[in-house]
Structure 1
Amino acid sequence: MIRRVQQIGDKGSFIITLPKTWCEKNDIHQGSELVINDEIRERSVLITLPKNANNIEQLEIEIPFGSLTDQRMIGRSILGRYLDGYDIIKLTEIPDERKLEVRKSIKALILKLYVSRETEIIDKAIEIHVSKEIIPPLTVIDDLFIKAKEMISDAVLAFFDGDFELADNIIQRDEDADKLYFYIVRTLKKIFRDPMMSSEYFRHDEKTNFNLIDALDLRMIASYLENLADSAEELATATLDGIAIEKGKQQKDLSRTFDQLSRLLEGSYKSYQTSDQARSIIILDETKELNILIEKKFDNIPLPVKNTLSELVECIIDIADLVGEQ
């Protein structure tokens, strides 16, 4: 189809008319939104109808229980299908003697997934229905950042104070971090397969020019933050195991260092949010200088604490590096 570009007046907008029969065939009417993507290739644009989340065909898959190579890995198999974008996941042919075990595994897993409902086991099968709710990934990544940062701060506090109750709470909160991370991975996988879906997930965000490179950066940052949350869980577990540092100068120095890293983490993430390359360079330099001091000063500290320091430094540097590459 070739259409002629017209202009309203001498200084007005440019318009393109579309044939009525073609519009009717494609269910385009007055008020319909069209997506214009000019990043396909040079001097080319792609015009498409945005997909309505309520009208997108539901992807469904069945997993015969006997087909699992390791039947103890029920949760991992279901999680893989969830991340692959399936909306209805059905585990079938469940032996009677394994029903309770399966239900227990699935109930633990769905705490980490966005699901709308879960059916009872009927005829040796169980279904998991993924929620249709669309949450902008940029909102989710902000939530994941806040969650991971708070978990690290609380894990350090629990470790220094020997606070078992707070440490146990941190371990429970890791499920919330997993839930946010898995949602981002699932959403971005769907967008990578069908770039036009990005209009559904990002149209309400301020960053309206979001492209696949941005999506890849988002996927990497989500991974960094998930690792940070896992590190907080590791430190909390060490606290529950009775690992500790005596109160004194070393603990005060460590506390001060964690405060510095927390400030740098905040700055690194802010530089990502605002695409501030100058700020990211400053953050990189400060973090690398601080890391040299950390390696010299804290050589003989418990491994979980050392790992947490290392994970914080890596997260700050990795996020700032992404900003520098934009």
Structure 2
Amino acid sequence: MRDLGRRSLISIGSSYAVTLPKDWVRRVEGGKVRIVEGSSGELIILPAKEPTSKVSIDLRGIEEGLWEIIAAYLDGYDEIEVRKERIKREDLETLRKALSKLIGMEILEEGSSRILLRCLMNHSSAKPMELLLRMKSIISGMISDLRDAIAEGDRELMSIVAERDDEVDKIYFALVRSIRRAMRSPEIMGMLGADPINLLDMRIAAMIMELIADNIVELAQSDCYCIDLLREISDLFDRGVRSFELKDFREALEVRERVNEIIRDMPAEKSLLPLINILFRIEDLCDLVSPRFL
């Protein structure tokens, strides 16, 4: 960020005016600007024309190309142009399958050598904290259903629980996209009422929760049958997320202390490793609110 120097306010009737550097105004197309309010009440002056949000990708190999598309989605691009000398049926099918993991991303135009993708998700429907709580709701349901599946010996329900991890991944990708866009745009950050530190914490919390979902899948595919422990883990997870949402220092401290007690009393068995990892990650969530002392 370049310091353009201090500016004096000039009183004009019931309003105030502020002068801008000539060289900056000359670089602004048309000399027009936008004034937006930041998350802390500051006023931010921006060029009237928003930067382009388009990217073009050459689809050489389908697998490599898919990762480029996902990376562009996470980086916040609204339009992604996909080009290939000849787009085959299997390329299109693989592309459609990948798009099912990207909330809001749709095929706008389709041809034999070019496909145009557009993200229809807007800022109001992609607020980071709301997405984080949606992740929490799905993960809580996964733990509850896994507990029921173990109690009833229902292998089909265990399989359904594992498949639900895909929905967690979709929301996680949308949340990362939303945070990255907000971090690059003071205007979006102001609309969300967030600041960079909040957004960074939410990004870390989302990553921790996505890992917890992966651990639940491991449990669903293992022979670990700790129903009572899963019930308490479910409660600790809910409390850990709530302490993060509300910035509740005391609850975060209580959850972390109970997690440490459980880990100390658990036997060193390989089958319990996914459970132990979930507990460690709940502790990591609490650390975002109440950091541990060394």
TM-score range, shorter chain: 0.7 to 0.9
Q: Does 1:307 align with 2:273?
A: yes
Q: Give the alignment partner of residue 118 of structure 2, picking from 117, 129, 136.
A: 129
Q: Does 1:3 align with 2:9?
A: yes
SS in 1 for 2:289: helix
Separation in 2 of the partners of 1:223 and 1:114?
Answer: 17
Q: Is the 8 A contact 1:87 1:129 kept in 2?
A: yes
SS in 2 for 1:129: strand
Identity, % of aligned positions: 21
Matched pairs, number: 275
Separation in 1 of the partners of 2:59 and 2:197?
Answer: 38
SS in 2 for 1:269: helix
Separation in 2 of the partners of 1:81 and 1:143?
Answer: 23
Q: Does 1:282 align with 2:244?
A: no
TM-score (norm 1): 0.73
Separation in 1 of the partners of 2:240 and 2:254?
Answer: 9
Pair 1:90–1:307, CA change in 2 (3 A): farther
Q: Does 1:18 align with 2:17?
A: yes
Q: Give the alignment partner of residue 53 of structure 2, picking from 52, 56, 59.
A: 59
**Structure 2 counterpart of 1:10:** none
Q: Is the 8 A contact 1:90 1:127 kept in 2?
A: yes
SS in 2 for 1:73: helix
1:29-49 deviations in whole A, cap 9, x for unaligned? xxxx741566xxxxxx95226
The Cα RMSD (Å) is: 3.2
Pair 1:154–1:75, CA change in 2 (3 A): farther
Q: Is the 8 A contact 2:143 2:230 kept in 1?
A: no
Following TM superposition, the consecutive aligned residue runs of length 4 or more in structure 1 with deviations greater than 6 angstroms are none
Separation in 1 of the partners of 2:144 and 2:50?
Answer: 41
SS in 2 for 1:18: strand
1:225-263 deviations in whole A, cap 9, x for unaligned? 111112222333x1xxxx546xxxxx4xx2111111111
Q: Is the 8 A contact 1:177 1:229 kept in 2?
A: yes
**Structure 2 counterpart of 1:80:** 71
Q: Is the 8 A contact 1:36 1:47 kept in 2?
A: yes
C-alpha deviation, 1:159, in angstroms? 3.8
Separation in 1 of the partners of 2:52 and 2:10?
Answer: 38
Q: Does 1:117 align with 2:106?
A: yes
**Structure 2 counterpart of 1:322:** 288
Q: Is the 8 A contact 2:83 2:114 kept in 1?
A: yes
1:175-213 deviations in whole A, cap 9, x for unaligned? 22111100111111122233442112x14xxxxxx3211
C-alpha deviation, 1:19, in angstroms? 6.9
**Structure 2 counterpart of 1:9:** none
Q: Give the alignment partner of residue 258 of structure 1, picking from 230, 233, 239.
A: 230
TM-score (norm 2): 0.81
SS in 2 for 1:323: coil
**Structure 1 counterpart of 2:196:** 212
- Structure 1 gaps of 5+ residues are 7-14, 39-44, 204-209, 246-250
Pair 1:63–1:317, CA change in 2 (3 A): same
1:108-151 deviations in whole A, cap 9, x for unaligned? 11111122531464131222211142221111111111111211
**Structure 1 counterpart of 2:28:** none
Pair 1:228–1:94, CA change in 2 (3 A): farther
1:18-68 deviations in whole A, cap 9, x for unaligned? 379x9xx6577xxxx741566xxxxxx95226999xx855511111123x5
In structure 1, give the amino acid aligned to 2:196. Answer: L
C-alpha deviation, 1:285, in angstroms? 0.9
Separation in 1 of the partners of 2:286 and 2:196?
Answer: 19
Q: Is the 8 A contact 1:152 1:228 kept in 2?
A: no
C-alpha deviation, 1:84, in angstroms? 1.2
- Structure 2 gaps of 5+ residues are 1-6, 20-24, 26-30
Q: Give the alignment partner of residue 95 of structure 1, picking from 67, 86, 111.
A: 86
Going by fraction, where is strand more abundant, 1 or 2?
2
